[in-house]
Amino acid sequence: MKKILFIEDDNAIQKTLGEGLRNKGYDVVSATDGEEGLEFSKDANADLVILDLILPKMHGLKVLENMRKEPATAETPVIILTNLENINEVEQALEFGATTYLVKANYSLEEVLNKIEQSLGE
């Protein structure tokens, strides 16, 4: 079973997308703030990280930057899932090695689930 670390502070998004992924047979580990997400990423051994940007305690880009410094998570695929659409954030996320940058409002739940499946090569 593939493992996904889902770092998202919005309760509704956590619940809907998290449950959608579980229904598709993934093992989903949830974190609700940046610090917790970074901490979990060290031990979770996740196949994929879904990362929001506006997070309490630590900004998503900082989480990503720190993840890349850790040997255990330096190569883990990361999907940025946010509602921020600034070119600065997109460029910085890609520079830190994000695999995909998705703007939540531009996709339906089904489309996001499909994109996550594609990222996991399924």
Partner 1 sequence: MNSFNLFKTCKRKYNVPLWQCPQFMFVMMGIVIMASSLFFYALGQRYLIQPEVLALIVMLIATVLLVIAFVVTRSFEGLAETNKVKDEFINIVSHQLRSPLTSLRWASQFLSKHKENNLDPNTCIEYFDLIKENSIRMEKLIDDLLIITRLNDQKVDKRKANFSLSDLVHEVVKEYETVANRFNIKIKVDQEDIPLVYSNEYLIRIVLRNLIDNALSYSLENSEIKINFKNKGKKLGITITDHGVGIPKDVKKRIFEKFFRAKNVIHKKVHGTGLGLYICKLIMNTLKEKIWFTSKEGESTTFGFSLSINN
- Contacting residue, 25, 75, 87, 108, with partner 1 by CB under 8 A: 108
- Whole-angstrom Cα distance, residue 120 to residue 23? 16
Distances from the Cα of 122 to the Cα of 24, 48, 55, 108, 117, angstroms? 11, 13, 29, 19, 5
Q: Which two tokens stand for residue 13?
A: 């998004």
- Contacting residue, 15, 43, 45, 70, with partner 1 by CB under 8 A: 15
- Contacting residue, 2, 10, 99, 117, with partner 1 by CB under 8 A: 10
Residues at the site binding partner 1, with contacts judged by CB under 8 A: 9-13, 15-17, 19-20, 23, 32, 54, 56-57, 83-86, 104-105, 108-110
